[in-house]
A and B are shown apart, each in its own frame.
Chain A
Amino acid sequence: MRKLRWLLAILLAFSLVAAACGDDDDAADSGVDAGDDADAGDDADADDADADADADADDDADADDDADAGDDADAGDDADAPAELVTGEGVDADEMVIRVGLNTDLSGLFAPLTTKITDGQLAYWEDLNANGGIEGWTIEPIVIDNAYDVPTHVENYEVFSGGGDESVVMLSTSTGSPHTAAIAEDLIDDEMFAIPLSWYSGWADPSIGQNVFEVQTNYCIEAMNGVSYLAEQFGNKVAIASFPGDYGQDGAIGAKVAAEALGLEVVYDGEAAVVPGADQTPVITGIVESGADFVWLTTNPGTAAELLGGAAAGGFTGMWSGNSPTWNPALLNTGIGDYADTNYIHSTYTVLWGVGDAPAMGDMISVMEELRPDAPLDDTYIISWIQGRITEQVIRQALANGDITRAGMVAAANEITVDLGGLAPDQNWGGDANDGVVRESYMYDVDASVYSPGATVAEGGGTGYTLLEGPFVSDTAAAWEYEPCFKAS
């Protein structure tokens, strides 16, 4: 028992010390954060920046912080740089530091994926700060782990949105759909915006995600493009299988929209039929018996492998494709690798590592090689870079407007069209949701010959894809009038 008493004494001392210094440390980079995960659906924000969103934002610019800069308060849309800068929470004006928050999963369900995305974004800021920051301002990323747990996400948000040393001007990552949904109302109250790690089509609807700024094509449009592309190549009988929920059904509904518009025959409708962890016999039987020409999946990689393998064993000969999180190149090294190499086509909403000659791609690869040579080679860093570029350009615009308060950031984000340097189509949130939604996606052939498993960034190599087409917009997606595909409420 003596041992235990010691242990308790140490723990107590430890907690007292921690408590005493608790409120004055800034977490800076000691946290870990992770990005998003593939299957659980994450949140995306596509704030379509409807007109009133920025109107509000401008009005409130002065409400929440430094009253002394009152005259610039509604500088939101002043293009000519004002003499004095309005600052607020999340900014250390003396040290010229602007803090951005990453509320991300570093130890939970999706940590393997989100950790990479977060690390990539940290590399982005390290590089930016080493090169002088933004007009002399240093960007300090604050990383807090949400462990993929909704209450923890809300607790972290309280820290980010407060006034302490870990307060931030915006959330450059908010991981998890239910998590982001849980803070969506508070974001509006606090006049702050968040970039979600999820591509749910609902975020673009101002009534769902006014201050959640979704980036890239959503699952629904991606599925429309994907099905249109496959229908041209492989025939007109389509089978659809998806997880239940915001991720899976978003994709499945998009696929059905395209099937209807193109007059395809949906020979198997497995919307919400795939439950992760369950035995997939019913779905596999359905796909095999349908005799489809191609299958559209909205699942995670492990479950996709189960469906591919099971259907192949049952003699199914059609093609496969699915929403971006359905595939992981590591599957090329698994039992279904050979089958997938010939029968799977990957759809996604960004260019992939080393593909194409976009200027931002070169930057990203050279920065990663310099700062993270030992990190595993992965396509997810592109998402980090996109989030980083958006955040940087919003801050630049806010600085130009002379208002770097939280509300100023929202206003700036609603004004600009972000230039993603070819990593993905440029995007803006200022107008109507229907105009703001991104409709381009990319199709890649899964190709084992260009895949370097286990490679680090420094070693280089490929991530297992060759570009088939993209960025392209299918007729269905172009004609589609925006509304949330999967209606959760």
Chain B
Amino acid sequence: MYGRPNLYTSYKQESQILPTWSQKIVLGIFLLILLAMPLDLWLTEQIPFVRFLGDNEWLPLINKVLVFAIATLGLNLLAGVAGQVSLGHAFFMGVGAVTAVFLGGQSSDNLHGLGLPIWIWLPGAGVAAALAGVIVSPVAVRLRGLYLAIVTLGLVFLGIHFGNTTWGAKFAGAPGLGRKAPKLDIRLWKEETPLINLDDDGRWLGFDVSDKAKTYFLLLGLTVIFAVMAKNIIRTRTGRALQAIRDRDIAAEVMGIPEFRYKVIAFGISSFYAGVAGALFSAALSGQVLAADFGLFFSVEFIAVLLIGGAGTTAGPLVGAFFVVMIPKFVETFTKWLDKTEGGITGKFADVALTGPEGDFGVIYTGVQTPGWQLNVFDWNIVLFGFLIIVFLIFEPLGLYGVWIRVRNYWKRWPFSY
């Protein structure tokens, strides 16, 4: 069927994950590049952007993208596919992180911990969060729209509060300090030497890999698994039922879809994703479990990732996570570069945009403590994050995925306008 992407001869064919060969090839190449990114290969050296993102200094950010992608894939199932908007995603991530550190962390006088290996604590984090989701869902099912959003927001506050109580701190670590997250090392049981050491630099298959690169490979594998799972859920019976509920719940019920059961399923699956992502967040990114990390801003970040990427799709959360996580770093790097530019067009631009301690009218302050009302580049990054949410929702409610659809359709029809 080469060259006829819209021609399907069977239902099965239409519901394939990748219906065309070109999609399969492009995705395959993309995955290969991702795999090679942190390695010292001749090929990766030739692709400037890739090599540079695979750098040790940028890999932590890429790892953050992957964790955010897993979390948002989960939120997408609940908010994008089933239409149940939740501001409580951070709460379920927190449940996952605390479960992980309870199962995988070391116990001491003031902390509970079982010291179990990753193949227990990582799924355990997901299961515990899923349980929390299922417990919450009977209340949530009764609520609609913004009432649901605000009640789930309440969960976030409740979660942080209980994480900081005397008994909660035995699991979640001291308020304001936290506790060590479990190590990612893969062990069979509690033996001294891990089966696969992810904590130190090492050599794999003849390549030098840093600890960050090892973490990256683990996260990449998990992200692929979770993305395929999400795609499968969306295109099969459960996903179709959830979409029917999203589009019109009463109509769905009339068609024989048990609304209650499917909403519980949606909460459970979404929270499972959140739990795993929360465990990975503390183990792979921050190294420290801290109840206060799982606050409202965190929930908002995932909503932003979802909306900027494109709700209801599988690619959306992945692209959105990249965009939201990387943009601030790009802006920061760009500003630093601009600050050092003298003369020429960029120099003129720098004069207008930046202002140094000696002061002129630029809006971005390059010093640390601004004398007046200017904002420094880090503040501007937060402002930019807020603006991105607003601008995307106003101009492109489908997010980056919508932009892609438009670009694709333009070239499909090219040279005709429609």
Contact = CB atoms under 8 A, between A and B. Distances in A.
Chain A in direct contact with chain B (Cβ < 8 angstroms) = yes
B57 A162 contact: yes
A18 B288 CA distance: 31
Contacts of B379: 106-107
Nearest to A246: B177
A163 B337 CA distance: 19
A151 B285 contact: yes
Contact of B378 (A23, A147, A249): A147
A345 interface: no
A460 interface: no
B396 interface: yes
Contacts of A49: none
Interface string B222-235: 00000000000000
A295 interface: no
Interface stretch (B12-20, B22-30, B86-94, B328-336): B328-336
B48 A20 contact: yes
Contacts of A33: 368
A246 B176 contact: yes
A1 B406 contact: yes
Contact of A488 (B48, B173, B326, B369): B173
B127 to A, nearest CB: 24
A275 B164 contact: yes
A334 interface: no
A177 B176 CA distance: 7
Nearest to B293: A150
A151 B281 contact: yes
Contacts of A489: 108-111, 179-180
A79 interface: no
A461 to B, nearest CB: 18
Residue among A16, A107, A162, A178 having the largest count of chain B Cβ atoms under 10 Å: A178
A387 to B, nearest CB: 14
Contact of A182 (B288, B340, B395): B288
B177 A32 contact: no
Residue among B108, B365, B376 having the largest count of chain A Cβ atoms under 10 Å: B376
Interface in A1-37: 1, 3-5, 7-8, 11, 14-23, 25-27, 29-34
A164 interface: yes
B179 A3 contact: no
B362 interface: no
Contacts of A106: 368, 376, 378-379
B368 A488 contact: no
A371 to B, nearest CB: 9
Contact of B369 (A15, A119, A487): A119
Contacts of B194: none
A115 interface: yes
A21 B174 contact: no
B409 interface: no
B176 A4 contact: no
Contacts of A4: 391, 395-396, 403
Contacts of A30: 335-336, 339, 366, 377
A31 B368 contact: yes
B44 interface: no
Contact of B368 (A34, A272, A275): A34
Interface string A344-384: 00000000000000000000000000001011000000000
B246 to A, nearest CB: 25
A177 B177 contact: yes
A178 B176 contact: yes
A262 interface: no
A122 interface: yes
B61 interface: yes
Interface string B259-293: 00000000000000000000001000111101001
Contacts of B173: 488
A268 interface: no
Residue among A19, A106, A159, A249 having the largest count of chain B Cβ atoms under 10 Å: A19
B286 A150 contact: yes
A279 to B, nearest CB: 13
Interface residues of A, number: 71
B157 to A, nearest CB: 9
Contacts of B214: none
Contacts of B64: 151, 155
Contacts of A41: 176-177
B327 interface: yes
Residue among A23, A30, A106, A155 having the largest count of chain B Cβ atoms under 10 Å: A30
A21 B57 contact: no
B376 A32 contact: yes
Interface string B365-389: 1111101000011110110000000
A407 interface: no
A26 to B, nearest CB: 8
A312 interface: no
Given A27-B336, A155-B61, A245 B212 contact: no
B217 interface: no
A8 B388 CA distance: 11
Contacts of B366: 29-30
Contacts of B174: 244-246, 249, 486, 488
A360 B354 CA distance: 34
A400 B289 CA distance: 41
B340 to A, nearest CB: 6
B49 interface: yes
B377 A18 contact: no
A300 B178 CA distance: 19
Contacts of A29: 366-368
Residue among B110, B177, B178, B367 having the largest count of chain A Cβ atoms under 10 Å: B177
B175 A245 contact: yes
5 contacts: A29-B367, A107-B379, A162-B57, A488-B110, A489-B111
Interface of B: 48-49, 52, 55-61, 64, 108-111, 161, 164, 166, 169, 173-180, 212, 281, 285-288, 290, 293, 326-327, 330-331, 333-337, 339-340, 365-369, 371, 376-379, 381-382, 391, 395-396, 403, 406
In the A-B complex, list the 8 residue pairs whose CB atoms are closest, starting with the nearest: A245-B176, A245-B175, A119-B369, A107-B378, A18-B334, A150-B286, A32-B368, A246-B177
Interface of A: 1, 3-5, 7-8, 11, 14-23, 25-27, 29-34, 40-41, 106-107, 115-116, 118-119, 122, 143, 145, 147, 149-151, 154-155, 158-159, 162, 164, 177-179, 181-183, 185, 200, 243-249, 272, 275, 372, 374-375, 486-489
Given A30-B336, A40-B176, A41-B176, 13 more contacts: A5-B403, A17-B334, A22-B52, A22-B58, A30-B377, A106-B368, A115-B369, A118-B368, A151-B286, A162-B56, A178-B178, A375-B369, A488-B173
